[in-house]
Amino acid sequence: MKSACWVAGILIALGVGIGAGAAPKSSPAALTFVREGVVVRVVDRATLASCGIERVVIDDPYYGKSKSFWACPLREVLEMGFGPAIDRERDADGDANYFLRALDGFTKPASGAKLTEEGGYLALSDAELGSPTAPRWEPIDRRQVDPGPFYLVWNKPHQNDIHHYPWPYQLATIEIAAFETEYPHTLPSASASDSAAHDGFRIFRVECIACHAINGEGGMIGPDLNVPRSIVEYRPADQIKAFIRDPQAFRYTTMPAHPHLTDSQLDALVAYFTAMKDLKHDPRGH
């Protein structure tokens, strides 16, 4: 049910196609809010633009320069979609888990505590090129794509680290759901909670799952790393770790480097992949 609901939300948000090129124009769009697989509200661009819009200047890690956006405070956007009681949203760990879903298949999990920090904004347009209701954007990132319909940005210096704060562009859907409910087949359930496999799962959840799936659950930009074959079944461990740390050394790719991961963290990721190869659950039924 949950997959059908969020896909429906994305289809609602799509409008006309997205194109690259100099200062492309985004389609009119809406932001879909989902709670545990059920769409609770779809907010159109004109309504979003009434949420205390302001011009914010951002030290943007994807553009690699200072950028100016027309944007709404993220907390106000979340309250608009889910209601004013967002601080009372809780899961088993005592804090709501959000999924930030983009049109290109990127799906970033994030905690409610982080998303409600001061400094988060939902950008509706590049302020140098368009307006909140008539958006235009400079192409973004190495793929040079249109970041619309919406782009989540942060304006405090410590928040411009994409490894610790979510910066999804092409944002179309925000969902509140328990991680274990949304992605039950990503857990290394046969391993002890204090094992290296569980350490690797926690790293994968933060660093990798936005782009990569395990057992069909996770982001859809990169390949599934467990089905039909686990990455550890056709790549040696040292090569996997080297590729994660610096993929550009192997091939030209949009996958980011992870130089901040320590050797022990890379070992833990391989331990997680190794544990999951015996827990295959292929949603395609192969």
DSSP state of 17: P
For 2-16, 50-64, 76-90, 254-268, which range has the lowest pLDDT when averaged over its residues? Answer: 2-16
The mean pLDDT of 118-142, rounded to a whole number, is 95
pLDDT over 90, % of the chain:
70
- Distance between CA 28 and CA 30 in Å, rounded? 7
Instruction: Please name which of 96, 102, 93, 94 lies closest in space to residue 78, comparing C-alpha atoms.
Output: 96
pTM: 0.79
Residue 217 pairs in a beta bridge with 214
* pLDDT of 177 strictly over 80: yes
Instruction: Please name which of 41, 37, 36, 35 lies closest in space to residue 13, comparing C-alpha atoms.
Output: 41
Asked if residue 160 lies in contact with residue 148, where contact means CB atoms within 8 angstroms, the answer is: no
If one looks up domain 185-276 in CATH, what number appears? 2.60.40.420
pLDDT band of 22, cuts 50, 70, 90 = very low
What residue spans in the chain does CATH classification 2.60.40.420 cover? 185-276
For 3-7, 24-28, 142-146, which range has the lowest pLDDT when averaged over its residues? Answer: 3-7
